[in-house]
Structure 1
Amino acid sequence: MELECKTTHLNCYDTVLDTTLYQEETLESIVPDACPDILRIVDTEAVVCLKSKEAQEGRIEVAGTARCAVLYVPDGAEGLRRMTISIPFTCSAEHAGLGSSCRLMAVPRVQAADARSLNPRKVLTRVSLAVEVQVFAPRTASFCDGVECESAAGIQQLGETQSACLVIAVEEKPFTFSDDLNLSGSKPAMEELLKSRVDLRCSESKIIGNKLIFKGEAELQLLYREPSGAICPASFELPFSQIMEVSGVEEDADCTLQVLLTGCDCSLDGGEGHTVAVSLAMLAQAVVREERQIALLSDVYSTVYELNAERRPYTFYRLMEHTERRVMVREILETVTPAREVCDVYVTVGAVSQSREGSQVNLSAETTVNVVYRGEDGSLCTVARTLPCSCSVELAEGASCTCRCTCPGERFATPAGGGIEVRYPLDFRYLALMPHNTTGVSDIRLDESALRNTAGQPSIVLRMVGEGERLWDIAKAYGTTMDDIVQANALGEDVLPMGQLLLIPKKR
């Protein structure tokens, strides 16, 4: 007599690697002939662009470029000057589960950048980078949810339904933005572009059919020198809207979407200094998770024959929270000389960590705020300070949590008594999953030559229900069925009070 397991197949992804790679790069550079000698370096800021990412057998590799803007006071000339230094980087990681079919998500960010002059014509630049990587391996998950057999085999089956949050789709889409941007009439003309930075935000995402529609903004912030030598800021909001192909997901699926730079070019366009030509290359990376109900055959036996069932363990994850908490940072930065005006302010996010006390998880990040300001004597100065920031969330014990931290939106800095007051937002975006371990039947062997031994079993048994016992366990132990016990004892559905005396009929 043949038994056939009914198997459900489900295409999904396993998370093979979820980590952050840290990289430090240094480069010696010669000041271009067209630039004046360096008297004093004022500030160094870097923008990072992803160039490539690749998953290989047992290894991943991520490459990109950190473009550093070194601002300095020239020797024998007026006004701030800029030197642009591009530093390539490559980082890698090894793991046994990596392969060429894996999907690699990578988000590089700058943790710190600085430069010092070795002489008036040579600069040593250092940049510290953190690259957040997630690697997903495609797989076909198979679950036995029942047995097909002849009724004469007396097969009894116990099924259960598990809720599982699965990664169903991992997709990406490159796109570009190009435009000529005009300064407002109230802004002075540009003599030289000193710095540019881009903050990318995805404000909305929605799945419709097999399309993921997402919208957001690229906030471009410029720092430039006007003809008189003064330093001025300018900012532009550049909206974007894109469609990405996804498949096999429902419209209420949970989506993690990150947009990052792969290229950035800003230059003065025209001779009047009021137009900037901007070209941005971006990459959207999406990880789509969906809650699925999975039917499992959790146990099986035969009332007629000896039956052996092989079992295998399963770990299912349930999505608890996927949300964002915003924290406002506010601090007074002490300055050596009193500040007359603030020229520029920016924030870099360092290492993100977490700790747990019971059901409370504390998410922490180190942020470094940098301020370029003009002192009362007119000289340009900088002040930087690392400020810790944290937020607490309630998560049940046993839940796993992954967190990303960004500094979106506007940063504020203004002269205050004794220094400069800074204020900026910090977003902790975290994903919490609760694991659940269970076992299910994976294979069945029925021996038709071995009838179940019931020779020593009386025709009627009186049995008291123990604590935590299920009707299934009692029926299996005595080689009968749950229906027979229910009928013999006139039990209501799902009612099995502890201490109740049950009549266990012998299976004929």
Structure 2
Amino acid sequence: MNTMDLKLNREMLSMTRTILDASCEQAVEKDFLLPDYYPDIFRVLKCVITPTVQSHSINGGKLSFDMAVLIRVLYISQNDKRINCIEQKMNYTKSFDLQGDCGDPMIWLTPKCDYVNCRVVNQRRLDIRGAVTIHANVTGEVTVPIVTDAFGCGIQLKKVAVTYPAKRLTAAKRITLIEELQLSAAKAPVGTILRTDCRIIPQEHKMIAGKLVTKGDAEIMMLYSCVTTDGEETAETMRFTLPFSQIIDIDGIDDTFTADVRITPAGCDIIPKSDDSGTLECELVLLVNCVAKKLSTCEIVTDAYSTCFECEAERCESKLDSESIKLSDSHSVTAKLSCQDGEIRCVHDSWATLSNVTSRLDEEKKAFIISGSVTFCIIGRNEDGTPLYLENDSPFEHEIPIPENVNGEISISPELCIENCTYYLADETTAELKADIKIGGEMTIQQTGTMISELRVLTDKPKEKNDKYALKICYCNESDDIWEIAKKYSTSITAILEENELTDDKISKQGMLLIPLMN
């Protein structure tokens, strides 16, 4: 076997490979005994479990991560109109076995609460049972040598132009912001913090040599119990905006890359100062994950044969991220909340949370369908000042149309968040709420197909030739591929096009085709 007369050009193509896509469950169990300085439990308003990922690492073929689960219980005491809050933070360490190995892995961990049950054992004791599911997705980069051109030995090549990520860089950083917040003069002093929430509003991502600069605002909301100057138990909300700017070192990055930056809150603790000055200390933890890509184009060989000798080719399946389209859309969901314990006198706070968000491709509609559920919540008081908590779920669906003339497979990785939640009282016992959902993330177009990674011409196995004639007649059907015809008769596609005065590599109509033979 001799392949010395065949010259090959190769290119190293980078492909994204999924090395983990799995979920695991963590049981959350707590036998909670109230501290002595807490009042007795008469009725639980709401028990919430909030899981957050604190850190993660890959070592020895395992993905390990630390998760914090915050348990918060709102309750009232008998003959007392104050809303009390007790909370407990529990820490867990979990791990996944990775399915293979690849370079520069990117880790996405998404925790969610499956359910929570809170049972009052007695006036001083709670039995809390729940479960949290953590979905892990780890992708990495693999490089494959691909044949892009070949010369000699009568080789014929079928090529296709592809766009692929010539370089892929990842980075992750944990940011801790500690700021002092000040209540407005019109607000009553903080008694007990009942609820906190944080929403990230990205402002700018800028890439310079070796660094990524990310800026944004963290919108922080706080609901707290307090006492008015008249001695009345009530609750107040406050909103703060914390701007942030961070520099993340990423070797090799510059302004020729496009970056997908995701910033996730991993904890928001607000502690009132003891001097009763209306000053609060806020510790905000943010997790920043970045995937940066530089796209390039080249021609790759998808099929080959020789007009003179038998050939051997090694093939591999390709799936190249050719293009990413940023998603920017919105959706509104409404719900009605009815009070069964009298009239709604006032609403202290209203909010909404997302759950069970999934996406699927609807080929008939040529769109992705994003679906899920919005849980609407209200904390307020009835006509005699007793605290009340109302909750209701509303399902939703939203369509993301697929762009026209897309060449390749499409996948979607949406990011949804509640932008705001508003309400109005429809009557004495009913509140109508509206949640605006912001839809971000990206749609990725992948070029898929078979590529040739190795090509050999077997010069000791020449093809049989017939010197008695130079042409053959072939009867073809409409849309037949001239490449397949040329390959069948071991001739060149160029010779067939010239002989039949054709310009397209597909047969336009049924008829006769002249096949020049390579003798």
State the TM-score, normalizing by the size of structure 1. Answer: 0.86
Which secondary structure state, in structure 2, belongs to the residue aligned with residue 194 of structure 1? strand
CA distance in 1: counterparts of 2:126 and 2:198, whole angstroms: 25
CA distance in 1: counterparts of 2:87 and 2:291, whole angstroms: 35
Cα 1:226/1:493, change in 2 over 3 Å? closer
Alignment of 1:190-339 (within 5 A): 190-227=190-227, 228=231, 229-246=233-250, 251=255, 254-289=258-293, 291-319=295-323, 321-336=325-340, 337-339=342-344
CA distance in 2: counterparts of 1:402 and 1:21, whole angstroms: 23
Cα 1:128/1:319, change in 2 over 3 Å? farther
Name the residue aligned to 1:391: 398
What's the CA shift for 1:123? Answer: 1.8
Which deviates more, 133-142 or 331-340?
133-142
Name the residue aligned to 1:364: 371
Cα 1:425/1:90, change in 2 over 3 Å? farther
Contact 1:168–1:249 at 8 Å: present in 2 too? Answer: no
Cα 1:130/1:167, change in 2 over 3 Å? farther
Alignment of 1:26-37 (within 5 A): 26-37=29-40
**Alignment match of 1:438 (pick from 449, 453, 461):** 449
Name the residue aligned to 1:409: 419
What's the CA shift for 1:181? Answer: 0.9
Deviations 1:86-125 (A, max 9, x none): 1334555456336897432213344665634321221223
CA distance in 2: counterparts of 1:88 and 1:245, whole angstroms: 29
Cα 1:46/1:246, change in 2 over 3 Å? same
**Alignment match of 1:340 (pick from 337, 345, 352):** 345
Deviations 1:269-322 (A, max 9, x none): 241241001111211112335554242112333333333333333234554744
Deviations 1:44-69 (A, max 9, x none): 34443322324456654433112233
Name the residue aligned to 1:115: 118
Contact 1:401–1:430 at 8 Å: present in 2 too? Answer: no
Contact 2:20–2:99 at 8 Å: present in 1 too? Answer: no
Cα 1:354/1:138, change in 2 over 3 Å? closer
Name the residue aligned to 2:355: 350
Letter in 2 for 1:427: K
What's the CA shift for 1:41? Answer: 2.4
Answering whether residue 470 of structure 2 is matched by residue 459 of structure 1, we say: yes
Answering whether residue 168 of structure 2 is matched by residue 168 of structure 1, we say: yes
Name the residue aligned to 1:157: 157
What's the CA shift for 1:141? Answer: 2.6
Paired positions, count = 505
Which deviates more, 178-187 or 38-47?
38-47
Contact 1:144–1:441 at 8 Å: present in 2 too? Answer: yes
What's the CA shift for 1:78? Answer: 6.2
Alignment identity in percent?
A: 21
State the TM-score, normalizing by the size of structure 2. Answer: 0.85
Cα 1:341/1:474, change in 2 over 3 Å? same
Segments of structure 2 that go 5 or more residues without pairing to the other structure are none
What's the CA shift for 1:489? Answer: 5.2
Which deviates more, 375-384 or 173-182?
173-182
Cα 1:375/1:160, change in 2 over 3 Å? same
Contact 1:413–1:420 at 8 Å: present in 2 too? Answer: yes
Deviations 1:123-161 (A, max 9, x none): 22345534343201332232111225xx4x333333221
Contact 1:475–1:485 at 8 Å: present in 2 too? Answer: yes
Deviations 1:413-471 (A, max 9, x none): 34331322222222344544455542222323323333332136513334455433444
CA distance in 2: counterparts of 1:400 and 1:486, whole angstroms: 35
Contact 1:51–1:65 at 8 Å: present in 2 too? Answer: yes
CA distance in 1: counterparts of 2:497 and 2:103, whole angstroms: 55
CA distance in 1: counterparts of 2:174 and 2:278, whole angstroms: 30
What's the CA shift for 1:342? Answer: 0.9
Alignment of 1:415-434 (within 5 A): 415-417=425-427, 418-429=429-440, 431-434=442-445
Contact 2:156–2:304 at 8 Å: present in 1 too? Answer: yes
Contact 2:479–2:507 at 8 Å: present in 1 too? Answer: no
Letter in 2 for 1:51: Q
Segments of structure 1 that go 5 or more residues without pairing to the other structure are none
What's the CA shift for 1:386? Answer: 1.4
Cα 1:184/1:111, change in 2 over 3 Å? farther
Contact 1:12–1:169 at 8 Å: present in 2 too? Answer: no
Answering whether residue 184 of structure 2 is matched by residue 184 of structure 1, we say: yes
Contact 2:332–2:435 at 8 Å: present in 1 too? Answer: yes
Letter in 1 for 2:289: Q
> What RMSD over aligned residues (CA atoms) do the two structures have, in Å?
3.4
Which secondary structure state, in structure 2, belongs to the residue aligned with residue 442 of structure 1? strand
What's the CA shift for 1:323? Answer: 0.7
What's the CA shift for 1:339? Answer: 0.7
